[in-house]
Amino acid sequence: MSATDDPPVIVINSVDDIPADNVNGNLSDSKPSTEDGADDDEHRGLPNQTNNVNILKLPAPTKTNHDGQKRVKINTDNQIAPTDPPGMVTVKMDNGNSLETSNDSPQVRKRHTSKEEEMRHLTADHLILAETLIKDAESGRNFTYKTDPKYVKHYIIYHRWYFRWGLYFCIFINLSLALFESPTRKEWEAPYWATMLVEVFCLLLFIARVVHCAYFTISTIFWRDTKNIMVIGIIVLTILDMITYGLWTKFAPDTHPVRWSRPLRSLLIINFSDGRQIRRAFRNIRRTVPEIVNVLILFMMSVLLFALLGLKLFGRRKSLKYPDGHSYFKNYFDSIWDLYVLVTTANNPDVMMPAYDESMWFAIYFGVYLIICLYVFMSIVLAAIYNNYRNNLKNEIRDAVFNKRRKLRQAFNILKITRDGVDIITKRIWNEIMSRVLPNKSINQIELLMTILDKDAVGHIKKSDFLNLVNLLQVPLTEVHERLTYLEKKFPDYYNSKASHVIRVIVRHRFFRFFFDFMIFLNAWFIGFDIDESDWFFLSIFMGEILLKLYVFGPKEFFRRLWNIFDFLVIFGAVIATAVESGDGERGEELSTLDLLLVLRVMRLIKIFVSIKRFRVIIMTIMNIGPSMATYGGVIFVLYYMFAIVGMEIFHGLITYHGYNETNIYDKFCGNPALKNTAFYRNHYCHNNFNDILKSFVLLFELTVVNQWHVLSSGFVFVTNKGARVFFILFHICCVVIVLNIFVAFILEAFILEYSLQKAGKFESAVESKIKELGLGIGQVRKDKAPAIDEMELVANEEEVDRTPPVNINVTNNEEEGDSDSDTDSIPDLTKEKGLKFHLKKRSRKKVEVLLQQMFEGEINPDDDGDEMGYYSRTRALTLDAVT
């Protein structure tokens, strides 16, 4: 038969089952072809000769029957086909023998499918959709979008970083307009049409963002989403406000026109989809407030009752007055105000002293009031907020976890193939999809992740294992690529010399760190006692430390550590500043600058406390709540902005600062005669006003601290009327009683979590154990036998030596390593490492998503992925009873 004839077609599933009467010759074990295709001999159409064995290449399957059998073409006269495409099946035959079969030969079966067969059901659009679903699950995005390819592409574009940061920039610009809009400082104020033009530009981008989201989102879901309705409502109200303000300014400019929609601007931070964390915090606040209303009502009733009692006890005593001459409990509303302030302890014991001077028995009244309203009710408010907030937060996390599982389940259904009635993802499919999800990761690390997920060691991933993918991706695992430092590459003889080896051993030793920690402590002692002569000595010592670390670890590894960057900037900043000031002859300023920079470096003593077990939980809690503090900082900012805009509209220009040695009669008493002889003016509080957005923020922060907040608010009461107290009471309830207590509740939960998570999370332990099992950790030696599920060589050309791992390896998570978090010990020694190595990062600050999920993951059934059918139909205001 010639090479050009069409070869007969048979169905092959396994060469082991070929009947003897149809085969003339002996078959040996089969060997898959390389991934890149045939070798050079095969491309020339010549048979391979390996140990006197002919290698017959069977072309890749051209058709798949309904029963899963592969139809392939085979040359029956034992000649190699003229073309040898990639994906060939290799069959070894004894030299001189031939494989003969006929068209009517019985079917024989092959156990393993080819790459094309496994990937045949996946198109490029399928892979893009699966990749998007996995990334949605990883980032916690909760979008329900149309799955047609064109809509998926628009969804991907919607989440491009430049569009997201463009949105952030426009929100920032929109909020910053308050600096230049009336009311503000005269020198800052811009024409209203100029600020409106900028606002119109921002609104156009907001509208484009909403329209883009509506394009790829299912219509019923889009219009049922509260945040979309809020954004559209804010845009519509802003446009109406701009029109009415323009007309108002044109026809009645002297009637104090007001932009009433400006307080709504900060709500855009919450309601755009990109503000997920802040929106979650606000949603929890919104759900928590109705559940603590009963406690707040009882508290206010107690205040009203004691105010009425105080009015009867002290109101008729004409001798009772405050030291400044103001009346004492003469008015019911004044009594309510004084007692509400007393709950905050801002006016304690000032409010009690006039009555206490009259009779010491009156102290019982104030003591009972404080016990009931401060220590009982305020504690109950905190407990109620904590309990309800925790339940609402658990429901939020439950929905977030279920959303991730739904996304992963959808991705799994796209990628899966069925074998023996079980849905699985094979290694080829895993490598293909994960190379898209993790484009910056090597194939070795991708396969290591599969090995970890494959708990049953069966060589593929089942659905239950695939649903843990997001948790696995959140483990901070890095692959070590480069082994040599810069100096070792350029000057290997010098760097590897005996003297250099001694220096490297000394720098890597823990006593090197102990010595410089002691020097930092000693430097702090010298600075405290103002011994200036020692400054240059310590500066030289610290410069030497940095240079030694740069020599041993190399610049690349050195500057990966935050503390090293901090040390470098402080020390060399001190050197530059001192040199410049010395050249200018400013000796006094030189020493003050040097002192400042060296004092900053004393902050490194914090690392000493981190290494002490007693303090580690506290410091780790502070580090872990750092990202969450940013979230609640965003919540506070939204409220501050709203109250600041309202305060500027009400109190702008009523209090001004002109110094306190005024000669102009109009500048005296903070520019307002009503403040004459008031505590506000006597305490020099004139700079605390609502004359611009920045000063408003400072004043609101002072009110949040509570100390002297009644004096601050009294100044604005004097220049307006007693109705201004409503503004300050509302601010105190919103920002102090509710938001700060919720923040305290979060800190309590995070602190309890740190105590319960002294050891690594379960997925960190899984990664760690698998790295140790494979011998791929820094300081370990690769095992001579890899697990059965991973027959390929992950590490090439690595010597097999003692397989017992050293006692001190960097991937362990024992107590010893947990105690060491220095800038020296945390840099692994890679100079002697060979092949593929992985480094499991030490515990660091957790993302808000991870931290919240860890709080409640023990209370969520790992096999439960939620009711998908009723997911969008059930009410969002869930309670704990509704989900347990």
The DSSP code sequence of 774-786 is HT-BTT----SS-
Length of the chain: 884
Alpha carbon 788 to its chain centroid, in Å, reads 37
Residue 339: beta bridge partners?
A: none
Residues 6+ apart with CB under 8 A from 806: 779, 780
Beta bridge pairs of residue 53:
50, 94
Pairing mode of beta strands 9-12, 70-73: antiparallel
If pLDDT is split at 50, 70 and 90, which confidence band does 299 have?
very high
845 and 748 Cβ atoms separated by less than 8 Å: no
DSSP, collapsed to helix, strand or coil, labels residue 422 as strand
Residue 454 has pLDDT above 80, yes or no: yes
| pLDDT, average across residues 27-38 | 37
3-state secondary structure of 874: coil
Phi, psi (rounded to 5 degrees) for 90: -100, 130
618-623-627-628 Cα dihedral, nearest 10 degrees: 0
Confidence (pLDDT) at 131: 93
> Which has more pLDDT, 61 or 517?
517
Report percent pLDDT > 70 for the chain.
67
Pairing of strands 89-94, 31-32: antiparallel
Nearest-angstrom CA–CA distance, 583 and 586: 8
Exposed, middle or buried by CB within 10 Å (0-12, 13-18, 19+), for 431? middle
- Are the C-beta atoms of residues 704 and 632 closer than 8 Å to each other? no
Residue of 536 and 449 predicted with greater confidence: 449
More confident residue, 786 or 726: 726
Q: Which residues are CB-contacts of 4 (< 8 A; sequence separation ≥ 6)?
A: 82
Contact call for residues 76 and 101 (beta carbons, < 8 A): yes
What mean pLDDT comes out for the span 711-724? 93
- For 702, what's the count of Cα atoms within 13 Å in the CB-facing half-sphere? 18
Question: How far from chain centre, in Å, is Cα 529?
Answer: 42
- Under 8 Å between Cβ of 402 and 408: no
Higher pLDDT, 226 or 615: 226
pLDDT of residue 451: 85
pLDDT of residue 717: 94
In this model, does residue 279 exceed pLDDT 90?
no
CA distance 721 to 728: 13
* Angle of the 443-453 helix axis to the 762-774 helix axis, nearest 10: 120
**Average pLDDT in the chain:** 74
What counts of helices (H) and strands (E) characterise the chain? 37, 12
More confident residue, 117 or 385: 385
Q: Report in angstroms the alpha-carbon separations of 615 from 256, 531, 605, 608.
A: 57, 31, 13, 10
CA distances, 98 to each of 3, 71, 75, 874 (Å): 16, 21, 10, 68
pLDDT, tens only, 403-440: 888 899 999 999 999 888 889 999 999 999 999 999 88
**Does this model's pTM top 0.75?**
no
Closest CA to 680 of 690, 670, 695: 670
Tell me, what's the pLDDT at 405?
87
Vertex 837 angle, CA 832 and 840, to 5°: 115
Position 109 pLDDT exceeds 50: no
pLDDT at 510 (0 to 100): 82
**Residue % of the chain over a pLDDT of 90:** 29
Quick one: pLDDT at residue 293? 87
DSSP letter (8 states) at residue 373: I
Comparing CA positions, the residue from 500, 355, 437, 393 lying closest to residue 133 is 437
What integer is the mean pLDDT of 571-600?
63
pLDDT of residue 332 exceeding 80, the answer is yes
Cis peptide before 787 (omega within 30 of 0): no
Give the 3-state secondary structure of residue 837: strand
Calculate the alpha carbon distances from 24 to 6, 58, 101, 180, 625 in Å. 21, 17, 8, 93, 74
ω before 349 within 30° of 0 (cis)? yes
Separation of alpha carbons 245 and 235, rounded Å: 15
784-793 CB contacts, 8 Å cutoff, 24+ apart: 787/451, 787/457, 788/457, 789/451, 789/454, 789/457, 789/458, 789/459, 790/447, 790/451, 792/447
Residue 276's pLDDT band (cuts 50, 70, 90): confident
Q: How distant, in Å, are the alpha carbons of 137, 231, 273, 280, 877 from that of 213?
A: 18, 12, 9, 20, 24
Q: What's the distance, Cα to Cα, between the start and end of the chain in Å?
A: 73
Q: Which of 224-228, 499-503, 758-762 has the lowest mean pLDDT?
A: 758-762
Mean of pLDDT values over 231-241: 95
Q: Is the pLDDT of residue 631 over 70?
A: yes
Mean pLDDT on 97-118: 48
pLDDT for 237 beyond 80: yes
Highest mean pLDDT among 103-112, 518-527, 575-584: 518-527
Region 478-491: mean pLDDT is 70
Q: What is the mean pLDDT of the segment spanning 686-696?
A: 93
Where would I find the beta strands (DSSP E) of 436-589?
Answer: 461-462, 477-480
Cβ distance 716 to 703 under 8 Å? no
Rg (CA), the chain: 37
pLDDT at 76 exceeding the cut of 60:
no
DSSP 164-198: HHHHHHHHHHHHHGGGTSSSS-TTT---HHHHHHH
Tell me: pLDDT of 294 over 70.
Answer: yes
pLDDT band for position 611 (50/70/90)? low
Give the model's pLDDT for residue 96: 41
**Which domains can be identified in the chain, with CATH numbers?**
9-119 (no CATH), 144-272 (1.20.120), 624-756 (1.10.287)
Three-state SS for 82? coil
Best-predicted range by mean pLDDT among 18-22, 87-91, 108-112, 342-346? 342-346
Residue 86 has pLDDT above 80, yes or no: no
pLDDT at 487 over 70: yes
Spatial strand order in the sheet of 89-94 = 31-32, 89-94, 53-58, 48-50
CB burial readout 612-635, b (16+ within 10 A) else e:
eeeebeebbbbebbebbeebbebb
The three-state secondary structure class of 599 is helix
Please state which of the ranges 172-181, 303-312, 375-384, 548-557 shows the lowest mean pLDDT.
Answer: 548-557
Residue 397 tokens read as: 């996390």
